[in-house]
Amino acid sequence: MRKKKRVIFATLLVSLLLLGCSDEGDKNQDNSQGDGGSDGDTDGDTDGDTDGDTDGDTDGDTDGDTDGDTDGDTDGDTDDDYTCDATITVKPDGTGDYATVQAAIDGASDGDVIGLTNGTFKGVGNREIDYKGKAITLCSISGKPSKCIIDVEAQAITGNVTQRGFVFHTNEGPDSQLRGITITHGVAAAP
């Protein structure tokens, strides 16, 4: 989230700088280029397009692609704003470094990054997941929450039944992180 805020701030800052430079361009409008730039357009920069930034595309942001977002890729979404440098990998079919998410957490040490591949994680060991107080990160390797899913597979509540994707209850702190994963079909009974 911090990286996304920095990208938005940087884009805003570049826009403000370009607006501040427009006076300079106005002073030079009688030159042969018409805007003070050397590219023949009228936006005051030198990249050859007319959107007012300097990355050479025409979408108005500064990340160099043409999809209109600021994350630097070309897929048109903004959910690739972090990296998941996994030290442990878990796959939905159980063929990763560990068979389940819980087994990976049980085998992890503080500072480890557990990366989940795309797919739907179901069954025992992939629900009611407990970090056990560890300072670890669990994240989607692809950065696509819609493709990396923990399906709790909970049924309708009868009585005082709770089925959750994750349980944080052992003094987990800010270094116990969960990123880029969708949790679905969990239920909790009213206290």
- What's the rounded mean pLDDT across residues 121-139? 95
Mean pLDDT of the chain: 74
Question: From start to end of 28-172, where are the E strands?
Answer: 88-90, 113-116, 119-121, 129-130, 137-140, 148-151, 166-167
Q: Distance between CA 75 and CA 5 in Å, rounded?
A: 19
For 169, the enclosing helix (H) or strand (E) is: none
Tell me the backbone φ, ψ of residue 39, rounded to 5 degrees. Answer: -110, 0
Asked whether residue 132 carries a pLDDT value surpassing 90, the answer given is: yes
Contacts 24+ apart (CB under 8 A), 153-160: 153/122, 153/123, 153/127, 153/185, 154/185, 154/186, 154/187, 155/187, 156/187, 157/187, 157/189, 159/189, 160/189
Pairing mode, strands 148-151 and 119-121: parallel
Give the model's confidence band at 154: pLDDT under 50 very low, under 70 low, under 90 confident, else very high: confident
Give the other-Cβ count within 10 Å of 102's Cβ.
Answer: 19
Domain boundaries, the chain: 1-81, 88-184
Query: For residue 180, what are its two tokens?
Result: 């880029």
Q: According to the model, what pLDDT value does residue 7 have?
A: 35
Phi/psi of residue 139, each to 5°? -145, 160
Share of the chain above pLDDT 90, in %: 44
Which position has the higher pLDDT, 6 or 41?
A: 41
152-173 mean pLDDT: 81
- The span from the CA of 15 to the CA of 19, in Å, is 6
pLDDT, tens digit, for every residue of 50-107?
666 666 666 666 655 665 555 555 655 555 557 899 999 999 999 999 999 999 999 9
Residues 8-24 have pLDDT tens digits of 333 333 332 333 333 33
Lowest mean pLDDT segment, chosen from 11-20, 135-144, 171-180: 11-20
Written as six digits, the tokens of 68 are: 């209109």
**Rounded CA separation 68/62 (Å):** 9
pLDDT of residue 96: 96
Q: What would the mean pLDDT of 102-115 be, rounded to a whole number?
A: 97
Amino acid identity at 111 = G
Residue 15 tokens read as 């826009």
b or e along 138-165 (b: 16 or more beta carbons within 10 Å of the residue's beta carbon)?
Answer: bbbbbbbeebbbbbbebeeeeeeeebbb
